[in-house]
Amino acid sequence: ALQAQDISQIGKGDPLIITGSIGTQNTYYHSSYGNGYMSPLSNSIFANLNINVYGFSLPFSIYFSNDNLNFNYPQFSFNISPSYKNFKAHFGQSTIPFSNYILNMSFNGVGLEYNGSKFRSSAFYGVLRRAVNDNPEDPNPRKPQYRRYGWGFSAGYGSAGKSVDIYFLRAYDSESSLHEL
């Protein structure tokens, strides 16, 4: 996982630091029940790049998969999450942990978090799920699904064990997101 920057440290560090990683994962799947659950071969490539200029850090990450868990189409994602003191912004494919019981899914959009010593809040807006069209010619057809948008916010006060939090999540599907084949 990449850590976002603390903008209060700008100008106090080395002029330029570039770090990152690149990797791949290749999986072979075989089942005596057939290949109805997933493709026999799955490949993914990821790259993380962190460019630090005078303490201002820009973390980037890119992920490509030919299988995307349950679906057989490529997916590219991008994320940048800068922070300043108690604030953290999210742009691209991100996750804001609202609660273990409410929302710990990724979204593609924008978000903002504030985590103070007692008060905390967060908000986001983005795409929660991509649209998937049915392909009747596919040997393993999948159920079509609409693109799902969502927005939400949370606010809380207190510390571990003695706190009050409220959450609001609104999600809706775009019926025009499916295309006829």
CA distance 96 to 103: 8
57-80 burial code (b ≥16 CB/10 A, e <16): bebebbbebebbeeeeeeeeeebb
| Mean pLDDT on 88-117 | 84
pLDDT tens digit sequence for 18-43? 888 888 877 777 667 655 555 667 77
Instruction: Spell out the alpha helix ranges (H) of 111-157.
Output: none
Asked if 50 and 61 count as a contact pair (C-beta separation under 8 A), the reply is: no
- Among 48, 98, 57, which residue's Cα sits nearest to residue 77? 48
Q: If pLDDT is split at 50, 70 and 90, which confidence band does 122 have? A: very high
CA distance 121 to 93: 20
- Among 95, 15, 22, which residue's Cα sits nearest to residue 57? 15
CA distance 48 to 18: 11
Q: If pLDDT is split at 50, 70 and 90, which confidence band does 1 have? A: very low
Asked if 78 and 90 count as a contact pair (C-beta separation under 8 A), the reply is: no
pLDDT tens digit sequence for 49-86? 777 777 666 777 777 776 444 333 344 567 888 888 89
Give the pLDDT score at 66: 66
Q: What are phi and psi of 71, to 5 degrees?
A: -120, 155
At which residue do the structure tokens 């590219």 appear? 76
The residues, any chain, with a CB within 8 Å of residue 15's CB and separated by 6 or more, are 53, 54
Sign of CA dihedral 46, 133, 97, 120: positive
Asked if 92 and 111 count as a contact pair (C-beta separation under 8 A), the reply is: no
pLDDT tens digit sequence for 140-178? 666 777 888 999 999 999 987 788 989 888 988 888 877
Asked if 89 and 112 count as a contact pair (C-beta separation under 8 A), the reply is: yes
pLDDT tens digit sequence for 2-23? 445 555 655 566 788 888 888 8
